[in-house]
Amino acid sequence: MVSEEDRKTFHRDGGVLLKNVLEEKWIKILAAGLDECFNEPDGMSSELVMNDMQIRVDQYPAARSKGLRDFIYNSIVGDLVAEMINTPVRFYMDQMFVKPAGELMATAWHQDTCYYNVEGNDLIRAWVSPDSVPREASLEIVRGSHKWNVTYRPLVGRDPSISEETYKNNLKKARENGFYERAGDSFAYNDALLDTALPEVPDIGNNRESFDIIGWDYEPGDLILFHGNIIHAACNETTLTYPRRAHAIMFAGPNVRYKKRLGQVIPDPKALDPYKPETGQFLSEFEDVFPIVG
């Protein structure tokens, strides 16, 4: 299902669209799993709000949805990721992103690597949706940015150089301006500590002509694969008459290691806690936490 041209494109650009690779059965299972999690938020569910727009983000939704687990472990997605990098891959984590109908809230330019306690060249995102997503509402990537050999700082977190009082005042001002987070009981983006030693993501939005940006029109049954180190976004101003539902699954190849980050944003899977992992350990040392799926 993965051609040599697909592999060349993926490794050169950092992302590729595979057309019509998912059967209708799996699209229905995906849709039902996402709707189940959306309708029953848990402690790992957050809503990011900007004026009249918002986005719902859930961490580890497959942990509470049999349908999403079935999709991850039994659909063709894991096999396609493994084919793309020509090596077995492990399931690392997943997220759900739902943007309500109407004017879509932007997902700013960012890099995934810095949000997790992992590092390695074989981190692959699989992005799928049960909805038609036109280019202006879909993912965009900066072509080749996965090869820049830079880990950028997250877009969220508290600068450790400022006081807690100042940070709270900053959040208060942001809320007054209509930008805030409705956090879950177990997770909040704003609780993270910002690693200011990492460089900021370039200002791509205001300098689009200076970057090689690519994107895709997406239809149900398609699959977008992109490198974990790629800079990406979904920030064009557009509206849809229906919600844009997305499931983003992270897979890890054999060279991926655990790395305890100062500015960790996304918590480790709970099943990893008893192992007390140390920086440098391969994920393969935690076989039952990160099983091979493709």
Q: What is the pLDDT of residues 162-196, one digit of tens each?
A: 998 998 999 999 999 999 999 999 999 988 999 99
Say what the pLDDT of residue 236 is.
76
Tell me the C-alpha distance between 82 and 242, whole Å: 33
276 belongs to a structural domain: yes
- Overall domain count for the chain: 1
Does the pLDDT of residue 115 top 90, yes or no? yes
Give mean pLDDT, residues 253-261. 96
261 belongs to a structural domain: yes
Average pLDDT over the chain, rounded to an integer: 95
Percent of the chain past pLDDT 70, that is, above it, reads: 100
Percent of the chain past pLDDT 90, that is, above it, reads: 91
What CATH number has the domain bearing residue 11?
2.60.120.620
Q: How confident is the model at residue 203 (pLDDT cuts 50, 70, 90)?
A: very high
Enter the pTM of the model. 0.95
292 belongs to a structural domain: no
Q: What burial letters (b/e) apply to 85-117, b meaning 16+ CB within 10 Å?
A: beebbbbbbbbbbbbbeeebbbbebbbbbbbbb
Does the pLDDT of residue 235 top 90, yes or no? no
Say what the pLDDT of residue 262 is.
86
Q: Which range of residues forms the domain containing residue 26?
A: 4-286
Say what the pLDDT of residue 264 is.
85
Say what the pLDDT of residue 58 is.
98
Task: Kindly report, residue by residue over 27-71, the tens digit of the pLDDT.
Answer: 999 999 999 999 999 999 999 999 889 999 999 999 999 999 999
Say what the pLDDT of residue 1 is.
83
204 belongs to a structural domain: yes
Does the pLDDT of residue 263 top 90, yes or no? no
Give mean pLDDT, residues 110-125. 95
Tell me the C-alpha distance between 131 and 136, whole Å: 14
Give 16 or 162, the one with higher predicted confidence. 16
> What three-state secondary structure class fits 245?
strand
274 belongs to a structural domain: yes
> What three-state secondary structure class fits 123?
strand
Give mean pLDDT, residues 119-129. 96
96 belongs to a structural domain: yes
The closest of 180, 191, 197 to 261, measured between CA atoms, is 197
293 belongs to a structural domain: no
C-alpha distance across the termini of the chain, in Å: 13
118 belongs to a structural domain: yes
Tell me the C-alpha distance between 7 and 10, whole Å: 5
Say what the pLDDT of residue 254 is.
96
In 10 A of CB 211, how many CB atoms? 18
Task: Kindly report, residue by residue over 213-232, the tens digit of the pLDDT.
Answer: 999 999 999 999 999 999 99
Q: How confident is the model at residue 294 (pLDDT cuts 50, 70, 90)?
A: confident
Structure tokens at 62: 């497959």
